[in-house]
């Protein structure tokens, strides 16, 4: 039982410990430490306490993290840990006899946190910046890496020492960023997340240089960018120290590791560096340059130096085409500047003597490239050489030229003055004639000209000059002299600090870096030997034979090339011709195709395929009848035409139409012509077409437009003819009746009936002109309405009465169905409403030869009883209108074309005006017609109902019964109008004066006193508007009472009235004006003179008749009136007898004519009841209702009897 409890407790403890593991610990992975250092391990001396501590510890935990920090710490395959840090860790494990476990973390921050929390014992690859954490302690550095500058290889661009204006790439960390800003303030910094991306930016032209630590840079360059960049070690910019980091509390382990690191030999350290690509770093380059305090003070005092440069010593020192200092000396000087921080200004010189003079005079601080000699040792101080090159003998090309200094005895040897071998040659070969020059270039020039037999120069300079200037003319014969030519810097003998600084800087440049620097300028040395003398003849013979064979080969090759050239030109010409033909055919926007004798398609252009909408493979090699391009019948027609063209051998041109498979009809200009072989055999046809569908469509549209224009022209011509007819017809009545009235007036007889006929014809003419004006108003948008109170029934019945006679003459029944609910006063423009009904009834009767015309008026009362919805329908049984003509009827001057009456029946304006007026009244007009059956027009209006007015007494006064006589001035330039208006006013009993224009009228107005001025608006000299302004101005200045000024014009436009009112007139009247309108307008004017009675009062209307008309006809002759009334009574009695007779015979036509004749006499005496009964009988006679006919005849008989009784009473009156 106890054992079980113990096991249970132990299990719970283990579970608790497992549960306490943090998420960070759960993510830790153990790696294998892969150290590559083998051989004998150095021994470390420790205290016994330290050894005991290590034994008790058993193992050390080393932290590693992602991402890798190559080449220090890298995780390979997810399980091995290797690199510089791993190698040092393996050394420590072996030296301290302790196992080291490597734990991997996901980030550097997690590893450092684990170190602070005691989960790790140490973390590697920690630099001095990471060591600023107070909780951490750093061991002695196991790698000390100087800074290095990476530039791009293969470029001729030499970077300035201060990198001014260049792009400098650095890793985005504090230490390299601060160092770059401090040392290269004029460079443009570019930050990158890693050294690999920064070096790649330099290699791929995204940056000009990279600044970083030497170890990781050497590794990355050697692994990825070996041929792309080269490195320059900078010992003085910044240095990175890599150490192990420990917890600050673990001081004993810190001492142990430091003791172990101190005993690791330099050789082992260099082995590790070489293993990871940093072996090019020597031990001296691992630390910064050490300058004395005096040297540092000197550099601080002299930050910028002047360097003298020989411009004729390529490739060591020279100037390029842009005047830039170039060569090995320039690049070495740049490295010195990078290591010391010194800046150099270039002073150009042409000879060694001038270089020395510049230094001795203090104009220059040093010479960039100088070869020391015994003579110059006393003048200058020379640094260690950065370049060493052997002296060589250069001679002209040729076998008989000297091969060595021995062969130069007795000959001229050109050399630069002060050359290091000059004393050697004078002592060893005194027979050589030395020719000294200022520069090495001059020595070679003398040799090339033949002024010297040989020249002495360094190998690198001589080879460079020969390759670039004297190729195939000069050569290097042999190496001479016991010593080589060293090249270094030269300073003044007294400039000890500068000499020391330059020497240390050159010493800090690794030899391999110098070799890399000079590799671009160095070539192999060519040395002639005696073998050439032994084999010269054989070589020459071989060259001659080779030359002959080469000449033969060249001749043969030239011949072949000529043949090939001719063939290529022929092929090119053929290709050009083919390309021309292809462009000509395929580039043509119209379809072109070629078919063989069988009709198979063998070629076509793109336009052909586009027109058919098919791919090339769908039509090539097929006949038209075998494809689905066109219909089968069209395909057969085309095939037959192909055969016909090939058989006849003539071309074929035709406009034609074909139906595409998509159903679209195309009109094309189709052409075909045969093509022949060279023997004249017809091989097929070449054909094509031009799609003229659009042109044909335009032609059709043009024809249609021309037809429409011709129709419109004919319509206007018809309109003018119709207008001529319409105007001449009433004018004939006016002129004829007036002429007849004048003839009777000459006989002392007043023919009132003729005057009434002329007046009616004139009013009809006025209505016609009004229709034309309405069309003009409609087109200009100025047609207006004048709503007023009116009885709907009276309006309809008055229009029906107007057309009863016309309908009766044509034998057409005119029927009226009127809804009694429509017997109300409404707000409507009565003139326009009657105009609508007149137009519709006129058209219905005009185009109905038999049958009936029915006018129906139906109404519906609104919800609130305030509005009345009316439905007016005009229906006839005439010829009807086709659908095409219906579309034309509502256009101005548009008439139906399917009847013979349209050309003479009217102006074609009625329906247009009627529909426009309905729309202006917020109504609708709809036409329905069937040819041969008739036409129906429906009008729907919504009108405001007006309350009935109280009954008012009829005015008892006649027109001539004015309350006062007015003094009126009439002004008109047209004599007939002036006379007519004067006669009308005189008839009304007024005093009238007249004038012929505005100027005469103004003088007349000033000389007299007028109550009213009536003036024409448009006159010469002074028009009515100017006259009105003049009168109003004088009235205003004199303070006189304004007179009434009325304008009178034939321009019956609303805007004309507005203009008259704006000019100061009181009103505007339109010609012609009736006596009633004129009397009504003057009725309210009070005369300025005394009122007097003029004329007698009109007779009182008694009963159902009015004798005023008879009094006007008889000029008040009572006897004549009594005689006329007797004749009327006799005629009335005879008509009653005829009425009964015709009714018994059921003669509807006779009854209608009798009612019309009786109505004419009744209108003379204004017998209203009798007139209404006559009209009712006329209407009933058009129908077939027997009961209605009986009632109408009975009503008419009663009205005639009542008239007979009234006439008998009036005849018997003694006053009459």
Write out pLDDT tens, residues 505-521: 888 777 767 777 777 66
Task: For 312-430, list the strands marked E by DSSP.
Answer: 312-313, 317-319, 325-326, 343-349, 366-370, 380-382, 387-396, 412-416
**For residue 445, what are the contacts with CB-CB under 8 A and spacing of at least 6?**
none
> Is residue 303's pLDDT more than 80?
yes
The model's pLDDT over 986-1007, given as tens digits with 9 standing for 90+, comes to: 888 888 999 988 899 999 998 8
Say if residue 1181 is in the same domain as residue 1155.
yes
Whether 381 and 366 have beta carbons less than 8 Å apart is answered as no
Residue ranges of alpha helices (H) inside 286-379 are 293-301, 328-340, 352-360
The 10s digit of each residue's pLDDT in 724-756 is 656 766 676 677 677 777 777 777 777 666 676
Q: Is residue 1150 part of a domain?
A: yes
Same domain, 971 and 931: no
**Mean pLDDT, residues 1090-1096:** 36
Given this model, what pLDDT does residue 5 score?
35
**What range defines the domain where residue 973 resides?**
967-1082
End position of a domain, from candidates 783, 807, 833: 783
- CA dist 1083 → 1029, 1073, 1149, 1188 (Å): 25, 15, 46, 46
Q: What six digits make up the tokens of 523?
A: 């070539």
Of the residues 1039, 1067, 1082, which one is the last residue of a structural domain? 1082
47 and 106 belong to one structural domain: yes
pLDDT at residue 771 in the model: 60
Give tens-digit pLDDT for 1147-1175: 887 888 788 778 767 777 778 788 888 88
The pLDDT score that the predictor gives to residue 946 is: 87
Residues 560 and 641 in one domain: no
Q: What is the pLDDT of residue 619?
A: 84
In a domain, 929, yes or no: yes
Q: Is 398 a domain residue?
A: no
The answer, yes or no, to whether residue 908 has pLDDT greater than 70, is: no
Helix residue ranges, H only, 630-750: 632-648, 693-746
pLDDT tier, 175 (very low <50, low <70, confident <90, very high otherwise)? low
Q: Give the domain CATH number at 1175.
A: 1.20.120
Least confident of 944-958, 1067-1081, 1125-1139, 1189-1203: 944-958
Mapping DSSP onto H, E and C, the string for 242-261 reads EEEEEECCCHHHHHHHHHHH
Q: What pLDDT score was predicted for residue 553?
A: 92
Domain total for the chain?
7
Which residues does 1006 contact at the CB level (< 8 Å), separation at least 6? 1034
Give the C-alpha separation, 658 to 665, whole Å.
Answer: 6
Q: Distance (Å, rounded) from C-alpha 836 to C-alpha 925?
A: 10
Give the CA radius of gyration of the chain: 66
Considering the domain architecture, whether residues 794 and 776 belong to the same structural domain is answered as no
728: domain CATH number is 1.10.287.130
Cβ–Cβ under 8 Å, residues 391 and 476: no
With beta carbons less than 8 A apart as the criterion, state whether 176 and 192 touch.
no
788 with 778, same domain? no
Q: Does the pLDDT at position 584 exceed 60? A: yes
pLDDT-based confidence at residue 1093 (cuts at 50, 70, 90): very low
Q: What per-residue confidence (pLDDT) applies to 770?
A: 64
Q: Residues 1022, 905: one domain?
A: no
**Angular region, 1172: left φ>0, alpha ψ -120 to 50, beta rest:** alpha
The model's pLDDT over 523-562, given as tens digits with 9 standing for 90+, comes to 433 333 344 444 556 678 888 898 999 999 999 999 998 9
The reply to whether 1060 and 1123 lie within a common domain is no
**What is the predicted pLDDT for the residue at 21?**
40
Most confident of 4-18, 148-162, 416-430, 1066-1080: 416-430
Do both 760 and 665 map to the same domain?
no
How high does pLDDT run on average in the chain? 80
Place of tokens 């189709």: 670
For residues 537-562, one letter each, b for 16 or more C-beta atoms within 10 angstroms of the residue's C-beta and e for the rest, the string is eeeeeeeeeeeeeeeeeeeeeeeeee
What's the CATH code of the domain at 180?
A: 3.40.190.10
Round to whole Å and give the CA distance between 634 and 594. Answer: 18
Check residue 131 and give its pLDDT. 63
The CA distance from 1196 to 1206, in Å, is: 15
Tell me: do 758 and 803 sit in the same domain.
Answer: no
Quick check: is 62 in a domain? yes
* 971 and 1009 housed in the same domain: yes
Q: Which residue, 271, 286, 301, sits at the end of a domain?
A: 286
Q: Is residue 975 part of a domain?
A: yes
Report helix, strand or coil for 326. strand
Burial of 647 from C-beta contacts in 10 A (0-12 / 13-18 / 19+): exposed
> CA quadruple 349, 353, 354, 360: dihedral positive or negative?
positive
Residues 6+ apart with CB under 8 A from 1123: none
Q: Say if residue 804 is in the same domain as residue 678.
A: no
Confidence class for position 711, pLDDT limits 50, 70, 90: confident
Query: Are 910 and 843 a contacting pair, CB within 8 Å?
Result: yes
End-to-end CA distance of the chain: 163
């Amino acid at each position: 039982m106890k054992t079980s409890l113990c096991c249970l407790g132990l299990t719970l403890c283990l579970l608790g410990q497992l549960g306490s593991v943090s998420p960070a610990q759960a993510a830790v992975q153990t790696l294998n430490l892969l150290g590559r250092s083998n051989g004998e391990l150095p021994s470390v001396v420790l205290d016994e306490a330290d050894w005991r501590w290590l034994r008790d510890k058993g193992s050390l935990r080393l932290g590693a993290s992602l991402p890798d920090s190559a080449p220090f710490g890298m995780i390979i395959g997810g399980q091995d840990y290797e690199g510089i840090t791993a190698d040092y860790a393996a050394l420590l494990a072996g030296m301290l006899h302790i196992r080291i476990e490597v734990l991997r973390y996901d980030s550097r921050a997690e590893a450092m946190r684990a170190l602070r929390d005691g989960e790790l014992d140490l973390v590697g690859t920690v630099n001095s910046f990471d060591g600023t954490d107070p909780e951490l302690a750093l061991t002695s550095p196991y790698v000390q890496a100087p800074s290095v500058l990476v530039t791009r290889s293969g470029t001729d661009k030499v970077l300035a020492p201060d990198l001014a204006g260049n792009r400098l790439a650095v890793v985005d960390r504090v230490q390299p960023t601060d160092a770059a800003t401090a040392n290269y303030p004029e460079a443009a910094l570019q930050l990158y997340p890693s050294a690999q991306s920064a070096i790649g930016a330099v290699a791929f032209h995204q940056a000009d240089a990279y600044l970083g630590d030497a170890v990781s840079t050497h590794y990355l360059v050697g692994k990825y960018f070996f041929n792309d960049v080269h490195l320059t070690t900078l010992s003085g910019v910044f240095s990175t120290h890599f150490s192990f980091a420990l917890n600050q509390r673990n001081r004993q382990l810190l001492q142990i590791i430091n003791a172990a690191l101190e005993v690791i030999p330099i050789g082992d350290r260099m082995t590790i560096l070489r293993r990871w690509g940093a072996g090019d770093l020597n031990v001296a380059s691992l630390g910064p340059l050490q300058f004395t305090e005096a040297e540092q003070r000197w550099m601080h005092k002299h930050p910028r130096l002047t360097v003298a440069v020989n411009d004729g010593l390529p490739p060591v020192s020279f100037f390029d085409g842009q005047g830039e200092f170039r060569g090995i000396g320039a690049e070495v000087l740049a490295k010195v500047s990078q290591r010391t921080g010194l800046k150099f200004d270039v002073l150009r010189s042409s000879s060694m003597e001038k270089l020395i003079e510049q230094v001795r005079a203090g104009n220059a601080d040093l010479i960039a490239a100088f070869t020391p000699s015994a003579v110059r040792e006393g003048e200058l101080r020379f640094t260690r050489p950065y370049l060493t090159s052997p002296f060589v003998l250069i001679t002209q090309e040729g076998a008989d030229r000297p091969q060595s200094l021995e062969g130069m005895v007795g000959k001229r040897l050109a050399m630069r003055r002060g050359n290091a071998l000059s004393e050697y040659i004078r002592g060893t070969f005194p027979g050589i004639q030395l020719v000294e020059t200022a520069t090495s270039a001059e020595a070679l020039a003398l040799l090339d000209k033949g002024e010297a037999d040989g020249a002495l120069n360094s190998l690198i300079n001589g080879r460079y000059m020969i390759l670039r200037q004297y190729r195939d003319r000069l050569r290097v014969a042999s190496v001479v002299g016991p010593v080589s030519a060293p090249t270094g810097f030269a300073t003044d003998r007294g400039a000890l600090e500068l000499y020391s600084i330059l020497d240390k800087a050159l010493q800090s440049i690794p030899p391999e870096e110098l070799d890399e620097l000079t590799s671009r300028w160095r070539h192999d040395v060519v040395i002639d030997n005696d073998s050439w003398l032994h084999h010269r003849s054989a070589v020459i013979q071989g060259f001659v034979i080779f030359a002959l064979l080469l000449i033969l080969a060249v001749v043969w090759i030239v011949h072949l090339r000529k043949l090939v050239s001719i063939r290529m030109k022929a092929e090119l010409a053929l290709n050009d011709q083919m390309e021309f033909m292809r462009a000509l055919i395929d580039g043509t926007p119209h379809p072109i195709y070629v078919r063989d004798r069988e009709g198979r398609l063998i070629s076509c252009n793109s336009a052909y395929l586009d027109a058919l909408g098919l791919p090339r493979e769908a039509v090539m090699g097929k006949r038209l009848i075998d494809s689905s391009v066109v219909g089968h019948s069209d395909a057969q027609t085309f095939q037959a035409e192909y055969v016909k063209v090939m058989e006849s051998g003539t071309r074929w041109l035709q406009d034609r139409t074909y139906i595409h498979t998509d159903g679209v009809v195309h009109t094309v200009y189709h052409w075909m012509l045969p093509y022949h072989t060279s023997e004249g055999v017809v091989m097929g046809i070449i054909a094509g077409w031009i799609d003229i569908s659009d042109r044909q469509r335009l032609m059709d549209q043009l024809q249609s437009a021309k037809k429409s224009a011709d129709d419109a022209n004919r319509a206007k011509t018809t309109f003018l003819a119709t207008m001529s007819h319409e105007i001449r017809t009433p004018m004939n009545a006016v002129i004829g009746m007036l002429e007849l009235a004048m003839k009777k007036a000459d006989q002392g007889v007043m023919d009132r009936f003729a005057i009434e006929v002329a007046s009616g014809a004139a009013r009809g003419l006025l209505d016609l002109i009004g229709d034309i004006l309405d069309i003009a108003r409609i087109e200009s948008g100025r047609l207006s309405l004048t709503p007023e109170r009116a009885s709907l029934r009276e309006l309809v019945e008055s229009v029906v009465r107007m057309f009863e006679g016309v309908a009766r003459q044509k034998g057409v029944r005119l029927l009226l169905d009127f809804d009694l609910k429509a017997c109300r006063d409404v707000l409507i423009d009565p003139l326009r409403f009657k105009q609508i009904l007149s137009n519709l009834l006129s058209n219905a009767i005009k185009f109905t030869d038999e049958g009936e015309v029915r006018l129906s008026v139906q109404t519906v009362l609104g919800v609130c009883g305030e509005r009345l919805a009316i439905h007016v329908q005009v229906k006839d049984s005439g010829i009807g209108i086709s659908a095409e003509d219906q579309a034309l009827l509502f256009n101005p001057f548009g008439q139906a074309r399917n009847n013979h009456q349209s050309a003479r029946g009217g102006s074609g304006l009625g329906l247009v005006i009627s529909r426009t007026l309905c729309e202006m009244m917020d109504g609708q007009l709809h036409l329905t017609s069937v040819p041969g059956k008739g036409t129906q027009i429906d009008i729907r209006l919504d009108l405001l109902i007006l309350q009935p007015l109280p009954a008012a007494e009829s005015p008892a006064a006649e027109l001539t019964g004015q309350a006062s006589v007015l003094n009126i001035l009439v002004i008109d330039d047209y004599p007939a109008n002036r006379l007519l208006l004067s006669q009308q006013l005189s008839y009304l009993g007024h005093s009238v004066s007249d004038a012929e224009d505005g100027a005469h009228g103004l003088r007349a107005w000033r000389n007299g006193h007028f109550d009213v001025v009536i003036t024409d608006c448009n006159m010469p000299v002074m028009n009515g508007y100017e006259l009105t302004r003049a009168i109003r101005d004088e009235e205003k200045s004199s303070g006189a009472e304004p007179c009434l000024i009325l304008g009178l014009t034939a321009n019956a436009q609303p805007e004309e009235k507005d203009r008259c009112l704006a000019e100061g007139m009181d009103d505007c009247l339109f010609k012609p004006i009736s006596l009633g309108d004129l009397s009504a307008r003057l009725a309210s004017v009070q005369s300025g003179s005394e009122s007097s009675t003029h004329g007698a009062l009109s007779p009182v209307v008694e009963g159902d008749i009015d004798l005023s008309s008879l009094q006007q006809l008889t000029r008040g002759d009572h006897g004549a009136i009594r005689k006329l009334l007797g004749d009327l009574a006799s005629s009335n009695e005879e008509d009653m007898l005829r009425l009964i007779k015709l009714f018994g015979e059921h003669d509807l036509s006779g009854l209608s004519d009798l009612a019309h004749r009786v109505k004419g006499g009744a209108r003379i005496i204004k017998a209203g009841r009798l007139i209404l009964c006559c009209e009712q009988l006329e209407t009933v006679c058009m129908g077939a209702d027997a009961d209605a006919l009986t009632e109408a005849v009975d009503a008419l008989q009663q009205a005639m009897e009542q008239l007979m009784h009234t006439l008998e009473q009036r005849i018997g009156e003694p006053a009459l």
